[in-house]
Structure 1
Amino acid sequence: MIKRIVFILLLQVFLLGTKSYAQDPHFSQFYAAPTFMSPSLAGSTGGVRLVSNYRNQWPGIKQAYHSYAVSADMYVNKYRSGFGAIMVTDQAGSADYNTTYLGLQYSYRIQLGENLQFIPGLQFTLGQMSLNRNKLIFPDGLVNGGQSSGDAYLAATKANYLDFNTSLFLYSRKYWIGTTVEHMMQPSYSFLDDQARTPMKMVVFGGMNVWRERVSRIEEPRRAAFCYRYERQHNFNQLDFGAYWYSRSLEFGAWWRGIPVFKNENLGTHYLDNDAIVLSAALVTGSFRFGYSYDIQTSDLAGFGGGAHEISIIIEFGDIFGCGAKYLDCFTKRAGLHFNKEQPRNLKIYY
């Protein structure tokens, strides 16, 4: 059974073949946007959770990228299922190019043994892309005194789409591995009526708890973990490695995003990906967590784009509806390694 699940995880890595590429919203604090990364993580705290994220990418470039995400998820113990909803908005450029979508998520926990759970997940998405025609400059506007309607170039300024994501997640007290395949319906992303399609995107992520030290019997232990993330979309590949350390109220993390091992292609040229060093810190008090991260650019935009600032807020409410896991230890902020073989546990992993 376990070998079959691992095979399915690996199979998803190779089931991607497309011909175009589109920009997707991105957050560097991967685990502080859990259901954005994988619908399998809906309900992973065993109770109710609210998450909000904001990213200001390349502030040194006027009107670059602003991304927002708000999500809510909960676990229903009776059905061993997690339910979630997420709304994401991405704003880019001087033409007010916006992408907004609402996703409904579902996950189901399958207990494989005392210390191992397998969680498939689904997400159905309804989205809209839009831009401001009045802020665009077209070729005829350059020869007509700056006046152009854009009618000859744009078929529309709004486009609605449906999409579908799937995910798989394998979790134990020591390690975790997951994969998410996005844009399985390959929706059109063009305003030019040329049927350009968003290619499928695959993300593989995982990590391992490598160190734990208990200071006292009443405080949560200090912990550390190593993590990785691999992304593939059409002819783009990216590999990230990171590490986390936290105590009872503080968390620190560092990632190298875009380790230069893949030769990507852009506009007919090939380049080694080397994107950024991401440093993060978070303050945790009770059920509230506030996180901040900064991307130090190591690419050709270093010193020009201004990196990226990112903020995350997570609030956990526990089992406020009486339908989550039955014991309260599941809902504590540091319950990621607690275990009860008769009840699903909090699957919180490092932010």
Structure 2
Amino acid sequence: MKQTILLSVLFLSFLAKIQAQDPRFAQFYAAPIHVNPAMAGVSSGSARMALNYRDLYYSLLGNKPFRTISASYDQRFRAVNRDYFALSGSVMRDQAGLADFHLTQVNVGGSYLKQVNGGRYASNEQYIVAGAQIGFAQQSLNWSDLTFSAQYDASGYFFDPNAPTNEAFDGKSSNPYLDFNAGVLWYAVWDDNKSLYIGGAMHHINTPSASFTGDDKVRVFRRYSANAGGELPLTKQLSLMPAFLVMSQGPMLSVTTGANIRYTNREWKELALRTGLWTHVNNRANRGVGLDAVIVAAIFELEKWNLGFSYDITSSGLSASNYSRGAFEMSLTYIRPDKSKARLICPKF
């Protein structure tokens, strides 16, 4: 009974946030197109493919956890002088909880990379990037897996699945809706292991309607975000890669911050290992802002490939129920080398 109540509370709290909070990745630095449209084309290669997978609360929800899968691709092209433009595409599928709530998003976008400093005699390379995305999304929900108070008898103990729910809804999915996102980014690179970047983005600029009941007033909140990071050399082979991502959407606030330490063998076929510690802070209903999870991460770099793993250790009050077992996350990034003579220099993420 306690588990049933807990699962019900988890699901009901998620329903309250359906219009309030987008899916997020702990390894946000490995999902650049999801974070900021202006990050399209900002990579050490001419093209980049990223795959991300996140599995949350498996210890509580079994085979129906909160699960997010995304794929993105972006490619950069030479424009004029040392300016570039890039095209991008991304797909995301988010599943949440016992009622099989699904969110499907498809976006296409572009960015323009404008050089503001650099060249033969410059001590650093600097770019300002502007990007935008247009796409569509749809939400779906398996109503047959939900129970409603009208289906219980007066005592509240006996449940009749065939009884009417007395709830008004038009169907199992919302209407597909158009979505618009935009962002900007500035970055500077001083050396192979010394860089800085900072950016901001706005998602759901048009606040699209996403209602299951046809209520046009139920809209997706705009998501405002700021992200920054860089790389600082410690020794010839070691560097520190701090970063943060702040997201605000409706009543929700999410802050992920931390750092990875990167070790590289500095050879022609470069091998590198990153390990790091991160924290996630969010706001909780009637309890203010608090620490939600501590995240441990490891990323393996092998020439063109980055393979990342991370685990969220729950530190909120939910840890008493899930024994601090939060989310498992995996990322895979492929970067196609840029073979042009005047290669673009970009920070590492």
**Normalised by the size of structure 2, how large is the TM-score?**
0.80
The correspondence for 2:35, drawn from 3, 17, 37, is: 37
CA distance 1:95–1:239, shift in 2 (3 Å): closer
CA distance 1:228–1:152, shift in 2 (3 Å): closer
Aligned to 1:28, what secondary structure does the other structure show?
Answer: coil
How far the C-alpha of 1:212 sits from its partner, in A, is 4.1
1:135 matches 2:157 = no
Alpha-carbon separation, structure 1, partners of 2:289 and 2:304 = 41
Alignment correspondent of 2:340: 326
CA distance 1:78–1:272, shift in 2 (3 Å): closer
Aligned to 1:60, what secondary structure does the other structure show?
Answer: helix
How far the C-alpha of 1:228 sits from its partner, in A, is 2.0
Alpha-carbon separation, structure 1, partners of 2:87 and 2:103 = 23
CA distance 1:149–1:134, shift in 2 (3 Å): farther
Alignment correspondent of 1:292: 309
Alignment correspondent of 1:106: 110
Contact 1:179–1:205 (CA<8 Å) still a contact in 2?
A: yes
How far the C-alpha of 1:151 sits from its partner, in A, is 7.3
CA distance 1:158–1:138, shift in 2 (3 Å): same
1:228 matches 2:247 = no
Letter in 2 for 1:94: L
The correspondence for 2:171, drawn from 137, 147, 156, is: 156
Deviation sequence 1:276-296 (CA, Å, 0-9, x none): 111100111121111100011
Aligned to 1:22, what secondary structure does the other structure show?
Answer: coil
Alignment of 1:193-212 (within 5 A): 193-195=214-216, 196-212=218-234
The correspondence for 1:183, drawn from 198, 204, 216, is: 204
Deviation sequence 1:73-98 (CA, Å, 0-9, x none): 11011361111110000001111110
Alpha-carbon separation, structure 2, partners of 1:312 and 1:347 = 20
Letter in 1 for 2:223: K
Alignment correspondent of 1:6: none
Alignment correspondent of 2:278: 255
Q: Please identify which structure carries the higher strand content.
A: 2
CA distance 1:60–1:296, shift in 2 (3 Å): same
Aligned to 1:274, what secondary structure does the other structure show?
Answer: strand
Contact 1:68–1:88 (CA<8 Å) still a contact in 2?
A: yes
How far the C-alpha of 1:200 sits from its partner, in A, is 0.7
Alignment of 1:1-351 (within 5 A): 21-45=19-43, 46-62=45-61, 63-78=64-79, 80-114=84-118, 115-143=125-153, 145-148=160-163, 150=165, 152-159=167-174, 160-173=176-189, 174-195=195-216, 196-214=218-236, 221-248=237-264, 249-258=272-281, 264=283, 266=285, 269-305=286-322, 306-319=325-338, 326-327=340-341, 343=342, 345-350=344-349
Contact 1:277–1:297 (CA<8 Å) still a contact in 2?
A: yes
Alpha-carbon separation, structure 2, partners of 1:226 and 1:347 = 16
CA distance 1:236–1:23, shift in 2 (3 Å): closer
RMSD across aligned positions (CA): 2.2
Contact 1:71–1:87 (CA<8 Å) still a contact in 2?
A: yes
Alignment correspondent of 1:335: none
How far the C-alpha of 1:109 sits from its partner, in A, is 0.4
Alpha-carbon separation, structure 2, partners of 1:226 and 1:60 = 30
Contact 1:138–1:148 (CA<8 Å) still a contact in 2?
A: no
Alpha-carbon separation, structure 2, partners of 1:212 and 1:108 = 33
Letter in 1 for 2:21: Q
Letter in 2 for 1:254: L
Deviation sequence 1:159-186 (CA, Å, 0-9, x none): 1111111111000013110111111111
**Normalised by the size of structure 1, how large is the TM-score?**
0.79
CA distance 1:147–1:251, shift in 2 (3 Å): same
Alignment correspondent of 2:10: none
- Percent identity between matched residues is 26
Aligned to 2:321, what secondary structure does the other structure show?
Answer: coil
Contact 1:20–1:199 (CA<8 Å) still a contact in 2?
A: no
Alpha-carbon separation, structure 2, partners of 1:303 and 1:85 = 40
CA distance 1:129–1:150, shift in 2 (3 Å): farther
Of residues 203-212 and 25-34 in structure 1, the stretch that sits farther from structure 2 once superposed is 203-212
Alignment correspondent of 1:218: none
Give the unaligned 5+ runs of structure 1.
1-18, 215-220, 320-324, 328-342
CA distance 1:163–1:148, shift in 2 (3 Å): farther
Alpha-carbon separation, structure 2, partners of 1:208 and 1:58 = 31
CA distance 1:280–1:152, shift in 2 (3 Å): same
How far the C-alpha of 1:39 sits from its partner, in A, is 1.2
Alpha-carbon separation, structure 2, partners of 1:117 and 1:285 = 27
Alpha-carbon separation, structure 2, partners of 1:29 and 1:20 = 22
